[in-house]
Amino acid sequence: MEFYKTLEMWYLNNKRDLPWRKSSNPYFVWLSEIILQQTRIQQGLSYYNTFTNHYPTVLDLANAKEDNVLKNWQGLGYYSRARNLHFSAKYICNELDGKFPTTYKEIIKLKGVGDYTASAIASICFNEKTAVVDGNVYRVLSRYFNIDIPINSSKGIKYFKELAQELIINANPKEYNQAIMDFGSMVCKPQNPNCENCPLENGCLAKAKNMISSLPVKEKKIKIKNRYLNFIVFTNGEQTILEKRTGSGIWQNLYQFPLLEFDEIATQKELIKKPLLKDYNTSTIKLFNPEPWVHKLSHQHLFTQFWIVDTQNISQTNSVHWENIDNFAVPKLIHKFLDSYKTK
DNA sequence: CATGCGTGGGA
DNA sequence: TTCCCAAGCAT
């Protein structure tokens, strides 16, 4: 049986029951695909439900405030996805008359939508023959055809996309694209793939050559940078100060306590040299966590300390009542602090 | 085009 | 503990 047919047959009997598969409404499929970028289904599922409940249509999403969209995205990470989702919803409503684009070529123009996502939506919703190439597809194809071209090299990206596109030619694109991804995540897994019960085992070159565990090949490891962040938690008992992160780094447009960054773990002595704290008596500045909390991002390790500053002088501009603080979208780290601080 | 962007789960 | 990595994209 041909490669595509085997996968389609497997999918028929093994596909997972997922909420976004109940409809081919491109808005719902788009939502699910953005949420699932670099994210496990288990992690994204509740967010999908939140978004479809809060924003049942693309117009509801377009009419929302970005702060609200980010609040609903809080905790999921890669927050540019939420910002781009919101941006694109407005684009669809304002420029496309509220009609979701129907071809790969038009769909990929949406911010936050690249080759993979455009292929997924175009095939799943409009049955266009555009092959998806995600992490699962890289793994399945590199193993089945025993290809050791690094999947994150420009050569590899081109090679696998072309191969995937050849394999979909005679397939039912909607079924086949989802089949190869489900198959990759359930059978041809990164670790301990289930080769014993694999319907593709006969033709699998990596299996024959005992290469399964070394494929796919990925080159370049990321370099992790250490940062030392000190969050200043001003409080008069009722209010505190929050500021919105701007610029291009992590957590863009989320909220945090005023931040002082150093090249190493800071002491109170160094802290009070900063303009933000120079007028405060050292006795009013207390370190909340004597042992720095290490928050690990994919590219950075953040060594973080929270300093509580008791003061009656809370500026009106960025003041927030403690009782309202949960209305703000904050990074996981800040949320962890709030949890810990409240229960103290 | 190499790098930056979150978080959580599993080995 | 540490490492990998999970339905990628923007710049």
Nucleotides of C under 7 A from a protein CB: 4-10
- Of all protein residues, which has its CA closest to the C1' atom of C11? A248
**Are residues A193 and A233 located together in one domain of the fold?**
no
**Are residues A273 and A179 located together in one domain of the fold?**
no
**Are residues A190 and A330 located together in one domain of the fold?**
no
Bridge partner residues of A303 (DSSP) = A228, A294
Among the candidates A214, A248, A265, a domain finishes at A214
pLDDT at A1: 86
Q: Domain residues for A326?
A: 225-342
Could you read off the pLDDT tens digit of each residue along chain A, which spans 344 residues? 899 999 999 999 999 999 999 988 999 999 999 999 999 999 999 999 999 999 999 999 999 999 999 999 999 999 999 999 999 999 999 999 999 999 999 999 999 999 999 999 999 999 999 999 999 999 999 999 999 999 999 999 999 999 999 999 999 999 999 999 999 999 999 999 999 999 999 999 999 999 999 999 998 778 899 999 999 999 999 999 999 999 899 999 999 999 999 999 999 999 999 999 988 988 999 999 999 999 999 999 999 999 999 999 888 889 999 999 999 999 999 999 999 998 87
pLDDT at A343: 83
**Are residues A258 and A309 located together in one domain of the fold?**
yes
Which nucleotide shows the minimum CA-to-C1' distance to residue A133?
Answer: C7
- Residue A330 belongs to domain with CATH number: 3.90.79.10
Q: Which residues of A are catalytically annotated? A: 33
**Are residues A126 and A232 located together in one domain of the fold?**
no
Domains identified in chain A, total number: 2
**Are residues A207 and A280 located together in one domain of the fold?**
no
pLDDT at A281: 87
Residue carrying the six token digits 């003041």: A319
- How many angstroms separate the CA of A311 from the C1' of B3? 42
The answer to whether position A85 is within a domain reads yes
The answer to whether position A219 is within a domain reads no
Among the candidates A161, A184, A214, a domain finishes at A214
**Are residues A271 and A141 located together in one domain of the fold?**
no
**Are residues A191 and A51 located together in one domain of the fold?**
yes
pLDDT at A240: 97
SS (H, E, C) A179-229: HHHHHHHHCCCCCCCCHHHCCCHHHCHHHHCCCHHHCCCCCCCCCCEEEEE
- Both tokens assigned to A26: 């491109």
Strand A300-310 vs strand A285-287: parallel, antiparallel, or unpaired? Answer: antiparallel
A246 touches strand B (CB under 7 A): no
Residue A221: CB atoms within 10 A of its CB come to 6
Q: String of b and e for A285-322 (b: at least 16 CB within 10 Å)? A: bebeeeebbebebeeeebbbbbbbbeeeebeeebebee
Among the candidates A148, A183, A214, a domain finishes at A214
- Residue A200 belongs to domain with CATH number: 1.10.340.30
Sign of the torsion angle spanned by Cα atoms A203, A204, A206, A210 = negative
**Are residues A147 and A235 located together in one domain of the fold?**
no
The answer to whether position A220 is within a domain reads no
- Tell me whether the omega of the peptide bond preceding residue A216 falls within 30 degrees of 0, making it cis: yes
- How many angstroms separate the CA of A329 from the C1' of B6? 14
The answer to whether position A96 is within a domain reads yes
**Are residues A93 and A207 located together in one domain of the fold?**
yes
Which nucleotide shows the minimum CA-to-C1' distance to residue A38?
Answer: C6
pLDDT at A314: 87
